[in-house]
Chain A
Amino acid sequence: MVEIEIDGKTLQVEDGSTVIEAAHKLGTYIPHFCYHKKLSIAANCRMCLVQVEKAPKPMPACATIVTNGMKVFTHSELAVKAQKAVMEFLLINHPLDCPICDQGGECQLQDLAVGYGDSASKYEEEKRVVPDKDLGPLVSTDMTRCINCTRCIRFTAEIAGFMELGQSYRGERAEVMPFIGKTVDTELSGNIIDLCPVGALTSKPFRFSARTWELSRRKSVSPHDALGSNLIVQTKHDKVMRVLPLENEAVNECWISDKERFSYQGLNSADRLTKPMVKQGGEWKEVDWNVALDYAAHALRDVARNHGGAAIGGLLSPHATLEEMFLAQKLLRSLGSENIDLRLRHSDFSADGKRAGIPSLGMKIADISALDRVLVVGSFLRKDHPLIAQRLRQSAKKAAQVSILHSANDELLINLTARAIAPPSHLPALLAQVAKAVCAAKGAAVPSDIASLSITADAQAIADSLVSGSNSAVLLGNFAQQHPQAAMLHALGRLIATTLGGRLGFLGEAANSVGGYVARAVPGNGGLNAAAMLKDPRQAYVVLGAEADLDTADGAQALAALAKAAVTVVLTPFRTPAMLDYAAVLLPTAPFTETSGTFVNTEGRVQSFYAAAKPLGEARPGWKVLRVLGNLLEQAGFDQDSSEDVRNEALGGKREFVAGMSNGIEAVALSFADGADKLERVADVPIYFADPLVRRSPALQQAADSAVPAARMNAATLAKSGLAAGDAVKVGAGGTVITLRAGLDNGLPDNVVRVAAAHADTIGLGAMFATLTVEKA
């Protein structure tokens, strides 16, 4: 620690701190533009110049390291003169078009110009004009306003992992631009809008639609991935206009992914269901709520009475709120059904009954940054968990070693130590090899069912990395959880973690994957899981927040099952043509911005939020709809007055973190299939198709990550099938054939065809994990 004095106030700060950090600790504001606490120091804007005793020249506070006894003056004549000088330079070529600038009202340059600028400029020459750039569908540019602080450049290079922006040309002609002909395609690109201290980078979807001071601000929580990013939802006249990050160092730091930032567009989609609807005699009719609820209650009661409660299945979206899931399972159980599940994309449920508790991250999100060895198993990490990938990216730059074991070698923009890539059916064996090598290195007993495996070099390299650390974790991704041998991967991951004295974690699939377990939205005694209740069709289904065709492990099978059912009650914010086909009642529920509720993120953190806007049309919060349905069915336990009541009942009181989390698992029989020579499907869930809301954001649907699905193979597999990239190809599975374009992806192992799931073009192929045939069309 060193002692320094800032403006006469003395304080102790850590060695190596900068003057600006010390000043912030004191609550002293030093004007700045290029400085950002999460980015490297550029010291180029020069706005933070302060006077340091004995220094002949003003010093940049952002780059000056404190020394013991240093005296800093942030408001002395020398400091203020320097700050005003810099402000004058910043403004001479700035267009001062604040009245038509989206940044107006929340512009750092505007704010600081009030304090440090002159009322009139002495610059009477012609101003600079800089051509705008096309950064893609999300970020709009007005480059003439750019002050070259390079925050956006440093963000792409340091946080997003790839320098998609740079500064070209010199001096006054310097311009920030992407590579020629390229856009900024990172899944974190929207953060450069927040980082830009002026109006050079603004939100394309939000552009010119409101002034910032007209907007109401509400705290909220992301309904998308399992991180549970904290959000600020901004509304105007009860319409969501914009979503920004709410800083929470323990969760999302100060970032959010583009999915979280731009999905709000879907809230105002034309697909929104705004009135309850009932199908009568094959005709859809908009009806009043009481009619629809009566209809639903009667229909479900009739099925339960005539066929037994087990004839009803409940498919709950893992993106639904805790309150919705809790009341939904309660309702289903009150009808005598234990067929309840939120794990709609899973295909292996053999761990049910063997788990020691609710599967979760197994540590705090912030703990990820402290891990020194990480093995990620079965994950499209960057697209499934953009901000967890970001944390690992930062760790890997320091001492941490990150490895991956997966069926696709996608560019993670993480400095990986080792990687093992194999077709899906080989993943358990591959992970078992790692487990065997780890056991051997640690001198632990090698379980007999993996003892005969020979260890490949890739698996050995992963094991070598893992055993060399002291704080390790195995993280199971979405792909591992959706895998047909998910329980084996779980057990093997557990074996590796315990042998290492490290931790096992599940990277939750969705906003409420952990919350669903807490809400008991999983099958009870003798109940059917999601796959079983679709394989073996029920008489009736209650579907909460999911689109059966796109949000399940086998969309084709789900559609067939629902079509056969006598009654399907769907609680949904959106209507789809498929729903109109299979449903009997459509109940318009509110999306996350129009209801209060709770998401429990992957670390088990309980995050409740209020509605940011009134429900659209006659949509109503899901928990209220379910509560009334419970009343209509004359069941006990549906008398909560608020979503908080529901939450407290579900959690057993008010909690910061849920209880009962454990990633332990009883013994799982291990057997390793040999899927050689068969073409296996690798199905990723594209980032902007993962849930009903994000699928409806027009801007995100134009992003590079929303490209039309192709049948991608590596060069050898393409050649073996007589294909070239770009060819039309017939892809078949289980008797169905669809036609796609062949694509080249050399990150895939041999004998693998990558076909995205959750996309209208590929539903016909059925299960996410399957063997495929390909043939030139």
Chain B
Amino acid sequence: MALIDTINPLLTTGWTKGDAGWGIKDYEARGGYKQLRRVLESRMTQDDLIAEVKTSVLRGRGGAGFPTGLKWSFMPKAAPLKYVVCNTDEGEPGTFKDRDLMRFDPHAVIEGMIIAGYAVGAKAGYNYIHGEIFEVYQRFEEALDQARAAGYLGNNILGSEFSFDLFAHHGWGAYICGEETGLLESIEGKKGQPRYKPPFPANFGLYGKPTTINNTETFAAIPFILGMGGEAYLNLGKPNNGGTKLFSVSGHVNRPGNFEVPMGTPFSKLLEMAGGMRGGRKLKAVIPGGSSAPVLPADVIMDCTMDYDSIAKAGSMLGSGAVIVMDETVCMVKALERLSYFYYEESCGQCTPCREGSGWLYRVVHRIEHGEGRPEDLDLLNRVTDNMMGKTICALADAAAFPVRSFIKHFKSEFEYHIENKKCLVDPETQRMGSGFFKAGAA
């Protein structure tokens, strides 16, 4: 199902025909490549273009929420060789928006990247696509061929003086390659390990050249921003949180999937669009921005609106917009064990605190879950996370630490129960009912 529900659709307007509507003809029929043509034919200046994106307050959709226009303005004007890179290495557990975006509307990404290339003065771009979505990579290659054939890529695009080409590159599924400098290393054929910053990619990026890296959804939003104007786009959302955003809702809801809503939409509305809680069960907790975002208990999240500022105020992160919904059948210790295993498995091994700490965290949580916890373990976990956070080259150590700290903070009694009674607070029978093996509502 391509599209379930949406409010004010922009990015998802092309999804209604599902797999039938991704081609260049359909995209053009939807007004696609019109903005590229306008930019080139009107000889829009790079500064005006960047100013428009700044006005929209489009913030990076990959998770960090950095203002896109500002990022573009960091690119040195004089450099002869520059790159734009699209980060479609969507590896954050719970996130699947870029996959669908690339599947149903790849040309929006291509058009956004070409316009970005124009704005920052790049001659070439790369789209780094997650290894596990190989069909999407293949479709993107096809889309590139279509765009090239139609004259949107290559030399003197649409008869202008602007030349730009775009290449697809697929990874092999390492989470760390979603970190922008790890991604650059990977494109260069090296082991995907983040680089120390500074220098930032805007100065020393792909092959040592100035590079702008944005998320897939960020690029896809560009043609729509230019179409409606930065001001109008901003007004779709709320101040400092421009536009609409895709949310990947997963977990214990009736209709998991991608939902495009304006920034600032209440969480309760999003939950309603996703069909509400499965089996009518009680909401227990939500991870609002992908697995590395701190978990929020039901009462906190129900008061939040879905935008960067509101979620941050509640003590978590909007991140990539992956909303993981957990109901009362979930054992929080078991959930954390799974998350900790992920970070233990995906740490690149470069920095000492993350390499050693991520395994330590997992082993202790695993022990607690398996009835071998000790009373001092919660303090130990907090201490280890404290020693990991902010001490590594990239944010993976923090990403491994946040779930541990937030799970313990909000669900401490459950952990204590586990340690004391050597079993789950939520009895196994209830857990099994919620696991999804049983039809919703059958209980």
Contact = CB atoms under 8 A, between A and B. Distances in A.
A46 B391 contact: yes
B116 interface: no
B387 interface: yes
Given A58-B390, A85-B391, A46 B352 contact: yes
A123 B344 contact: no
B156 to A, nearest CB: 35
Interface string A45-69: 1110100000011101001010000
Given A169-B349, A171-B348, A173-B349, A86 B360 contact: no
Contact of A82 (B344, B356, B391): B391
A97 interface: no
The number of chain B residues touching the other chain, given as a range, is: 20 to 34
Contacts of A129: none
A674 interface: no
Nearest to B397: A46
A641 B198 CA distance: 62
Contact of A63 (B174, B196, B352, B390): B196
B427 to A, nearest CB: 28
Nearest to B392: A46
Contacts of A166: 191
Given A148-B349, A171-B358, A44 B393 contact: yes
B137 to A, nearest CB: 22
B352 A171 contact: no
Q: Counting chain A CB atoms within 10 Å of each CB, which of B191, B344, B360 scores highest? A: B360
A41 interface: yes
A147 interface: yes
Contacts of A90: 352, 356
A86 B352 contact: yes
A174 B352 CA distance: 11
Interface string B289-330: 000000000000000000000000000000000000000000
Nearest to A43: B196
Contacts of B363: 125
Contact of B353 (A65, A86, A171): A86
B349 A171 contact: yes
A60 B392 CA distance: 9
A394 interface: no
A123 B352 CA distance: 15
Interface of A is mostly: loop
B353 A89 contact: yes
B130 interface: no
Nearest to B191: A167
Contacts of A148: 349-350, 352, 355
B389 to A, nearest CB: 8
Interface in B365-387: 367, 380, 383, 386-387
B100 interface: no
Nearest to A126: B363
A170 interface: yes
B357 interface: yes
A45 B392 CA distance: 9
Nearest to B198: A65
Given A88-B387, A170-B174, A44 B351 contact: yes
Nearest to A88: B387
B387 A44 contact: no
Contacts of A57: 390-391
A45 B345 CA distance: 19
A19 to B, nearest CB: 13
B202 interface: no
A44 B350 contact: yes
A591 B341 CA distance: 60
B348 A41 contact: no
B178 to A, nearest CB: 14
Interface string B390-411: 1111000000000000000000
Contacts of B185: none
B369 to A, nearest CB: 14
B349 A46 contact: no
A411 interface: no
Contact of A47 (B176, B350, B352, B360): B352
B5 interface: no
A92 interface: yes
B346 interface: yes
Interface in A494-544: none
A773 interface: no
Contacts of B364: 125
Interface in A293-344: none
A319 B24 CA distance: 76
B347 interface: yes
B65 interface: no
Nearest to A83: B391
A45 B196 contact: no
B359 interface: yes
Contacts of B359: 93, 125, 171-172
Nearest to A84: B387
A24 interface: no
A89 B387 contact: yes
Contacts of B383: 122
Nearest to A82: B391
Nearest to A149: B352
A123 B360 contact: yes
A384 B49 CA distance: 60
Interface in A156-192: 166-167, 169-174
Contact of A170 (B347, B352, B356, B388): B347
B346 A171 contact: yes
Nearest to B343: A171
A556 to B, nearest CB: 52
A170 B349 CA distance: 5
A42 B193 CA distance: 11
A123 B387 CA distance: 14
B356 A174 contact: no
Contacts of A172: 344, 347, 349, 355-356, 358-359
Contacts of B360: 89, 92, 123, 125
Given A56-B390, A63-B196, A65-B198, A89 B174 contact: no
A92 B361 CA distance: 12
Contacts of B391: 46, 49, 57-58, 82, 85-86
Nearest to B389: A57
A621 B267 CA distance: 89
Contacts of B386: 85
Nearest to A55: B390
A170 B342 CA distance: 12
Contacts of A41: 196
Interface in A674-724: none
Contacts of A42: 196, 350
Nearest to B376: A122
Given A85-B387, A125-B363, A174-B355, A60 B348 contact: no
Given A86-B353, A89-B357, A123-B360, A171 B347 contact: yes
- For B198, B355, B357, the residue with the greatest tally of chain A CB atoms inside 10 Å of its CB is B355
A92 B351 contact: no
Nearest to A34: B352
Nearest to A123: B360
Given A89-B360, A170-B348, 17 more contacts: A49-B391, A82-B391, A85-B353, A86-B387, A90-B352, A92-B360, A123-B360, A125-B363, A147-B352, A148-B352, A148-B355, A170-B174, A171-B349, A171-B354, A172-B355, A172-B356, A172-B359
30 contacts: A41-B196, A42-B196, A42-B350, A44-B350, A45-B352, A46-B351, A56-B390, A57-B390, A57-B391, A82-B391, A86-B353, A88-B387, A89-B387, A90-B352, A92-B356, A93-B356, A125-B360, A125-B367, A148-B349, A167-B349, A170-B176, A170-B348, A171-B348, A171-B354, A172-B349, A172-B356, A172-B358, A172-B359, A173-B349, A174-B349
Interface of B: 174, 176, 191, 196, 198, 344-360, 363-364, 367, 380, 383, 386-388, 390-393
Q: Closest 6 A-B residue pairs measured CB to CB?
A: A174-B349, A85-B387, A171-B347, A57-B390, A89-B356, A172-B359
